Structure 1
Amino acid sequence: MTAALISWGKGRRAAAAIGAVSLGLVTLSACEKPTALATVTVGSSTVTAEATPGCDGHGKDLSRKAVAACITKKGGKSITVHPGEKVRVGVDPEVAKSGWIVIGAGPVMREPSKQTYRSFDADTLFMQQNPQTGQTTYTKDVTLQVAEIGKSEGPTTMWHFTLKQKD
């Protein structure tokens, strides 16, 4: 009788172990790939953000409608910038492989970067040029947009940050 109890106990433990492993595999398969992050650092202050809601194509190019909506979005995490400071923008290595650009009050980069971070003069980011008059003005705050570039040269993901100029 003792032998029957022992073998039944081993079977129950084996079944429990198989069940635990199966549950673990199901749980892992339900996990999504984490969202890539973008970071802005000014002096000793840093803000990090996930992709702006509605602006993540999950590796696929955003539609023209989505890009238009993402470009007009304002806000995002805020950071204060003093005139003359350097603004450092960083992205995940996977984003750097694809290439990425930064847009301030106007275009900031001429072509996509494959580096994980770039530095910019704050004055350049706050500078706006009026296309009709050619005059340059400076804004007090600007939405800094970071965009991952896809294979077809369109954005696949966008992050937004608000830079506030401190006098």
Structure 2
Amino acid sequence: MTAALISWGKGRRAAAAIGAVSLGLVTLSACEKPTALATVTVGSSTVTAEATPGCDGNGKELSRKAVAACITKKGGKTITVHPGEKVRVGVDPDVAKSGWIVIGAGPVMREPSKQTYRSFDADALFMQQNPQTGQTTYTKDVTLQVAELHEGDGPTTMWHFTLKQKD
């Protein structure tokens, strides 16, 4: 009688273990590659964001229409910046392999970067130049856009952050 109880208990444990492993494998097979993140750090404050909704081509170049819509989007996670501070922008290593750029109130980078992070002067990010008059003005807040490039061409993914200048 005791032998029958012992073997029944082992069988139940084995069935439970097989069920748990099977469920784990099904769960893992349903997982997709995690979304790449972009990070902005100012001083000791950091904000991290996933791609802006509608601005993720899943590795494929965004259409011109999608890029135009993404460029005009405002918002994203907000971080406060004091004059004279450094703004550090970081991306996942996979994004760095593709190349990426940062756009602020105007163009910020001359060439795409293959590094995982870059630093910028806050004052340059808030600077806007009027193309008609050539005058430079400063804005109180700016949407900072980080764009992953497809083989050095158009963007495949864009992240948005709002930088607010602290007086």
If the length of structure 1 is used for normalisation, what is the TM-score? 0.91
SS of equivalent to 2:70:
helix
Encode CA deviations 1:98-139: one digit per residue, 9 max, x unaligned: 111000000000111011110111111011111111111111
**Could you list the runs of 5+ residues in structure 1 that have no partner in the other structure?**
none
- Check whether the contact 2:51–2:159 (CA below 8 A) recurs between aligned residues: yes
Residue pair 2:99, 2:152 contacting (<8 A) in 1 also: no
How far apart are residue 3 of structure 1 and its match?
Answer: 6.7
The whole-number CA distance in structure 1 between the counterparts of 2:7 and 2:85 is: 73
Q: Distance in 2 between matches of 1:6 and 1:166?
A: 71
Give 1:153 deviation, angstroms: 0.9
**Which segment is superposed worse, 123-132 or 15-24?**
15-24
Distance, in Å, in 1 between the alignment partners of 2:43 and 2:16 is 54
In 1, the alpha carbon distance for the partners of 2:154 and 2:22 equals 41
Structure 2: 5+ residue runs without aligned partners?
Answer: none
Contact 2:98 2:152 in 1 (8 A): no
Tell me, yes or no, if the aligned pair for 2:37 and 2:49 is still in contact at 8 Å.
yes
**Paired residues of 1:39 and 1:89 also in contact (CA < 8 A):** yes
Distance 2:85 2:14 in 1: 63
Contact 1:61 1:152 in 2 (8 A): no
Tell me how many residue pairs correspond in the alignment. 167
RMSD value over aligned CA atoms? 1.7
Looking at structure 2, the residues matched to 9 and 54 of structure 1 have their Cα atoms a distance apart, in angstroms, of 53
Q: How big is the shift at 1:18?
A: 2.5
TM-score, normalization by structure 2:
0.91
The 1:19–1:107 alpha-carbon spacing in structure 2 relative to 1, beyond 3 Å, is same
8 Å contact from structure 1 (residues 75, 162) kept in 2: yes
Distance 1:5 1:81 in 2: 69
Q: In the alignment, is the contact (CA less than 8 A) between 2:99 and 2:151 conserved in 1?
A: no
Tell me, yes or no, if the aligned pair for 1:148 and 1:155 is still in contact at 8 Å. yes
Quote the offset at 1:4 in angstroms.
6.7
Q: 1:3 to 1:166 in 2, by over 3 A?
A: closer
SS in 2 for 1:10: helix
Describe the superposition over 1:132-158 as per-residue Cα deviations: whole angstroms up to 9, x where unpaired.
Answer: 111111111100000111125111111
Residue 130 of structure 2 corresponds to: 130
In structure 2, what is the Cα distance between the partners aligned to 1:13 and 1:87? Answer: 55
Render the CA deviation track for 1:36-56: whole Å, top value 9, x for unaligned: 111111111111111111111
Task: Give the stretch that moved more between structures: 66-75 or 31-40.
Answer: 31-40
Q: Percent identity?
A: 94
Please say if residues 76 and 162 of structure 1, whose CA atoms lie closer than 8 Å, have aligned partners that are also in contact.
yes
Three-state SS of the structure 1 residue aligned to 2:3 is helix
